[in-house]
Structure 1
């Protein structure tokens, strides 16, 4: 198994060389450097984080990315504990769930460009709410085939949502993409770390395997309501004028 790490390290080194040889600095950055324009201070870079909207985007990504990662980690244990799958089969199903996520995320970016990130976000939250509500039912009432089908649909729409969240950032914060994108990404990573622990805690406290999906449903419901109220507020403020990242 050590060869896996060695191959991965070699691939990273190769990509570093390719990146160094085939990319250039951002034109705006080059222009600022040529003109001797001073860089923003740390306080200026992080000033947008005072906006509650940034943390709303972070909540979206906490679910879309963090929830996706958490389910990838939790699925083998869930399938073994609920349906009695052997570990090898459960691991293969979890891999089949997680690997296409990168491909679907790219597709989500394409859809966000064509249909608008907000439309994709609404679709993700709506489908995720239905899916997590179904999966919140007692595990014994859902057959393995239905469970796997619903969880794959959920994973697909979560992957679309991951791209849609990041579509918003340059639209609303074109001068602070790095700082805002970094915070949003950090919250997604925290979701992938915290949620599996929360899943295990809920299982121990309630004895219900499906309690993890009830937690995800709560996050989805809060996110969807918050997003919808914010969209309505933006619409009122703009007097029906087009809003960025629609």
Structure 2
């Protein structure tokens, strides 16, 4: 594995550089999507009091918030590759603004739940920027750029948690929470128009490569086709688990009849998607895939597994960490426990860019191996924490674990744009969906086991990810994209 000799540094203050300007435009778009997506979280107590909601109804809102994100990332990934990230990001921001304002002024639980469910679609915004950033940065800088995009954008949820309660108090009254959330939606909508006006899909003179067919991910071999179909199954299982958690066995949002209907619908959609995937690829494969157009689906599958362990565990741990600290250490208030737990998400500002930078500087596969090994050890250490630990040490272990988790996310998305440029949106969408699948699986495990066992389960699954990454190929040389007129363009992906 070679060390990149090219400079991987970026001057983020050089706004006259079009690619730096694009990076700032894009990470802030992602920042706003996460702020909108999680704007309700720090205001749940106010929302509950205002609408007189039960604890079960609040838990249902939290589940609904992530339910649609899994298919959304797949769908948006396809749209980005076909239409381009500029218009898709602008539309997502503007539509999300209306949904956010609708949620803010909902007066019944039913309308509140519908808007919360639909707002899960905004979680697909991440995928759009991955493709856009990859168009503007060369291979030796793309990991660092994607890490900044992901890390700074992801901070939107933490920023919302820190700012919105104060905003709600400033507005005052029983409806302060409504105006605070609506303001975030308004800013998001206005920025959608700004983004459309200022962003561009590619640098001037560059080509935006699109997949030859739409409707399903194209693969290069029959073996890859069967692997793609198998990789779709966990996403449907995660949706089935989410539906079960909303049934009488969980938060009792609806009856068993609705649950069974939903499960039947998932089976029908899976069969339809499998048939569509087969049809889109069969003709393509029978005709023979030219050598220049081939790519390794093995790389995609392994990165899915890696993102399951990295982002999946982050989403799950961020959801439970405040309560974990509150119940583990005596004498903590809910506010203090929340502040201590926020250290996990706060690390995103540095960790994810560092993971991308390490990947650019020291090699893709090697960096990802180190990060996953580090997070496996980190979660094992978190499993050892109990009430006898010194609180400062527990927080330091948590932050160290968080560094490897988020740096691992940066390392995953440093590699995704280097597999097949014309399909970066779809590949990023699938990996992103696997992150949400991981969160669903881990949180489901948590509902049956102790906190310590929960952390040990994540550590064990991370070791499976480590073994998978061991069999990855380090991106080298160039990838080729063939235009409709037969012209071949090559894109550097790594040093030989």
After TM superposition, the score normalised by the length of structure 2 is: 0.42
Write out per-residue CA displacement over residues 195-219 of structure 1, whole angstroms, 9 at most, x where no aligned residue.
223223212xxxxx21111011111
Deviation at 1:7, TM superposition (A): 2.2
**What RMSD in Å do the two structures reach over aligned CA positions?**
2.7
Q: How does 1:194-213 map to 2 (within 5 A)?
A: 194-203=441-450, 209-213=451-455
Write out per-residue CA displacement over residues 68-101 of structure 1, whole angstroms, 9 at most, x where no aligned residue.
1211111111111111322111111122321331
Tell me the distance in 1 between the aligned counterparts of 2:494 and 2:459: 25
User: Higher helix share goes to which structure?
Assistant: 1
Change (3 A) 1:16 1:105: same
Matched, 1:224 2:466: yes
Change (3 A) 1:67 1:245: farther
Write out per-residue CA displacement over residues 209-231 of structure 1, whole angstroms, 9 at most, x where no aligned residue.
21111011111111112222x14
Count, aligned residues: 227
Aligned to 1:47: 219
Contact 1:63-1:219 within 8 A present in 2 as well: yes
Q: 2:342 aligns with which of 70, 92, 95?
A: 95
Q: 2:303 aligns with which of 57, 66, 76?
A: 57
Contact 1:102-1:159 within 8 A present in 2 as well: no
Tell me the distance in 1 between the aligned counterparts of 2:382 and 2:409: 21
Change (3 A) 1:73 1:126: same
Tell me the distance in 1 between the aligned counterparts of 2:384 and 2:362: 33
Contact 1:118-1:245 within 8 A present in 2 as well: no
Moved segments of 4+, more than 4 Å: 241-246
Greater relative contact order, per chain length (Cα 8 Å cut-off, separation 6+): 1
Q: 1:16 aligns with which of 188, 192, 215?
A: 192
Matched, 1:123 2:370: yes
Write out per-residue CA displacement over residues 4-35 of structure 1, whole angstroms, 9 at most, x where no aligned residue.
31221122113212211111233423x87xxx
**Structure 1 residues 56-65 or 2-11, which shifts more?**
2-11
Q: How does 1:1-246 map to 2 (within 5 A)?
A: 1-26=177-202, 27-29=206-208, 39-43=212-216, 45-47=217-219, 50=228, 51-84=297-330, 85-137=332-384, 139-140=386-387, 142-203=389-450, 209-228=451-470, 230-231=471-472, 234=473
Give the gaps of 5 or more residues in structure 1.
33-37, 204-208
Deviation at 1:162, TM superposition (A): 0.8
Tell me the distance in 2 between the aligned counterparts of 1:18 and 1:52: 39
Tell me the distance in 1 between the aligned counterparts of 2:183 and 2:358: 34
Contact 2:376-2:459 within 8 A present in 1 as well: yes
Deviation at 1:47, TM superposition (A): 3.0
Change (3 A) 1:16 1:79: same
Contact 2:303-2:412 within 8 A present in 1 as well: yes
Deviation at 1:177, TM superposition (A): 0.7
Give the gaps of 5 or more residues in structure 2.
1-176, 221-226, 229-296, 479-492
Tell me the distance in 1 between the aligned counterparts of 2:191 and 2:350: 19
Deviation at 1:183, TM superposition (A): 0.4
Deviation at 1:190, TM superposition (A): 2.2
Tell me the distance in 1 between the aligned counterparts of 2:403 and 2:381: 16
Tell me the distance in 1 between the aligned counterparts of 2:395 and 2:195: 38
Tell me the distance in 2 between the aligned counterparts of 1:242 and 1:142: 49
After TM superposition, the score normalised by the length of structure 1 is: 0.81
Change (3 A) 1:245 1:199: farther
Larger gyration radius, structure 1 or structure 2: 2
